[in-house]
């Protein structure tokens, strides 16, 4: 019985990894309630990151940030405008917040393409919980289908 309790205590919970996929497209300059959508999204994301500060400190929780629509202006429509800005790591909340402050919306909305690229943002891991949180104001502006990509990711253990 003592051995069983020791085994349970030694078993660590799985590493939880959350990838934020953030909309930096031109439509984020639109108004929503009290301000521009980009300002509201940046503020709320900053508050969410602040609330995760204590959880990330235990070393069993990692965050990353992918942004789309922020590198190339419309027109032309560049559906490859997506980039992993902050890879997974411990204690990188400050890095993510710093990058968020620099995002200036300018491009299109390649949601499906960004989600497809997100699969490779998660380094191999045997015992991990992989989560994507999509922060967007719009709909797919390129040829992909985010729902189909999401189902494919779920089959690979990314929710």
The predicted structure's pLDDT at residue 98: 97
Average pLDDT, 10 consecutive residues per value, the chain (159 residues): 53 88 96 91 96 80 97 91 96 95 96 98 94 94 95 95
The predicted structure's pLDDT at residue 82: 98
The predicted structure's pLDDT at residue 58: 72
What tokens appear for 59 in the block? 């070393």
What's the number of domains the chain is made of? 1
- The answer to the question of residue 8 being in a domain is no
CATH number at residue 46: 3.40.50.410
Task: Check if the beta carbon of residue 137 is closer than 8 Å to that of residue 21.
Answer: no
For residue 137, is it left (φ>0), alpha (ψ between -120 and 50) or beta?
A: alpha
The predicted structure's pLDDT at residue 93: 95
Q: Residue 46 is part of which domain span?
A: 15-155
Total-model pTM: 0.90
The predicted structure's pLDDT at residue 85: 99
- The answer to the question of residue 137 being in a domain is yes
Q: Which residue has the tokens 């070393």?
A: 59
């Amino acid at each position: 019985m003592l051995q069983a309790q020791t085994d349970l205590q030694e078993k660590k919970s799985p590493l939880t990894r959350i990838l934020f996929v953030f909309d930096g497209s031109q439509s984020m300059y639109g108004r929503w309630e009290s301000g521009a959508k980009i300002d509201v999204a940046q503020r709320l994301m900053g508050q969410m990151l602040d609330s995760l500060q204590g959880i990330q400190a235990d070393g069993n929780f990692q965050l990353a940030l992918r942004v789309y629509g922020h590198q190339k202006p419309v027109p032309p429509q560049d559906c490859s405008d997506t980039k992993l800005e902050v890879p997974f790591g411990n204690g990188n909340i400050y890095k993510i917040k710093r990058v968020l402050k620099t995002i200036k919306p300018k491009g299109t909305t390649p949601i499906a393409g960004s989600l497809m690229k997100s699969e490779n943002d998660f380094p191999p891991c045997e015992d991990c919980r992989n989560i994507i949180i999509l922060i967007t104001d719009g709909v797919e502006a390129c040829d992909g289908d985010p729902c189909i990509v999401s189902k494919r990711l779920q089959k690979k253990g990314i929710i």
